[in-house]
Amino acid sequence: MTALRSALFTSPLATGLLARSTFATQGHLHCAVSGGADSLALLLLAARTEQPVTAWHIDHALRNDSAAEADMVRRIAGELGAEFESRTVHVALGPNLEARARDARYGALPHGALTGHTADDQAETVIINLLRGSGTAGLAGMRHDHRPIIGLRRHETQALCAELGLTPLDDPMNKDDRFQRVRVRHELLPLLVDISKRDIVDVLARQAKVIREDNDVLEELAAMIDPTDAKALTAAPVALARRAIRQWLSNPKPPDSATVDRVLNVARGETAACDIGQGREVRRSQQRLKLRSPDMR
């Protein structure tokens, strides 16, 4: 047994953090590991479960030292007895870099891969979604599926790495205030803590959980409505009708509120048809709503 693995299995801190995590009790654990404190803690705790583990490192090729980062993750994975896989994706510089890099990363990871999001990430996500005008789905934050350490705090993942003698990588993008999340993390959250005089991360994470549970119930009720039945949509509570339409048209992405309202107007007979973007339209005929795409015209 390596020195790192031995220290991990005798660490009271690791024991406590694992007890608050939600790893599956069986099966192969595929972990996305960038080399930061959160993803290293994910890998460490996954190894502590004594289940088969693979560390997946995605190289965005945005920095000259990215190959060295992969080597570090490979070394730590080896010391923990975990397998290692590396993939390279190419993301062009330009607008929405953070979002495009995230999409490329998820596209390269295996289905069901675990990520190292913490409660701090959850709080930041809730605030960002609020600033974007998201509905309850956005305010519910990230689902806990595939995020086994989302109940932990960032300072705890950093403490675990420090205790085991690991120096996490520091991504320069996490300090670049051109990115909204960076300003939320370093400016807005500390201000909210100062104003509220309480741990605002814990508050936001708990509120997200409550909203997510409520949202799940409403989604189930909305799924019982046939979104192509104009009469059913018109008779349903507006909140559920909107959700039913959003479920129907959420491919590839959920429609915005204005689009949903236009479809509701068609269902009510106020207009015969409406544009919903990407060359598609929703048209009403004989009390039925029909989705028409360019290749159907």
Distance CA 181, CA 174 (A): 8
For 223-269, where are the alpha helices, taking DSSP H only? Answer: 230-235, 238-249, 257-267
- Helix-, strand-, coil-residue percentages of the chain, each rounded to 5: 55, 10, 35
pLDDT surpassing 70 at residue 195: yes
CATH fold group of domain 223-296: Chorismate Mutase Domain, subunit A (1.20.59)
DSSP character for 110? P
Average pLDDT, integer, range 97-116:
83
For 81-229, where are the alpha helices, taking DSSP H only? Answer: 97-108, 119-131, 136-139, 154-163, 180-183, 189-196, 200-222
**pLDDT over 70 for what percent of the chain?**
93
* Most confident of the ranges 6-20, 134-148, 273-287: 6-20
Architecture in CATH of 3-118+153-175: 3-Layer(aba) Sandwich (3.40)
Distance CA 44, CA 79 (A): 10
For residue 206, what are its two tokens? 């708990």
pLDDT surpassing 80 at residue 99: no
DSSP character for 94? S
**What residue spans define the domains of the chain?**
3-118+153-175, 223-296
**Which pLDDT score is estimated for 95?**
67
Backbone angle region of 37, left / alpha / beta, with phi > 0 → left and psi within -120 to 50 → alpha = alpha
Summary mean pLDDT of the chain: 91
**Which pLDDT score is estimated for 82?**
98
The pLDDT tens digits of the residues spanning 252-294 come to 778 888 899 999 999 999 999 999 988 899 999 999 999 988 6
Average pLDDT, integer, range 230-254:
92
Q: Are 29 and 46 contacting, i.e. CB atoms less than 8 angstroms apart?
A: yes
pLDDT surpassing 60 at residue 295: no
CA angle 20, 22, 23 (to 5 degrees): 125
Q: Are 8 and 139 contacting, i.e. CB atoms less than 8 angstroms apart?
A: no
Predicted model pTM: 0.85
For residue 292, what are its two tokens? 């028409």
Distance CA 124, CA 38 (A): 15
**Which pLDDT score is estimated for 64?**
65
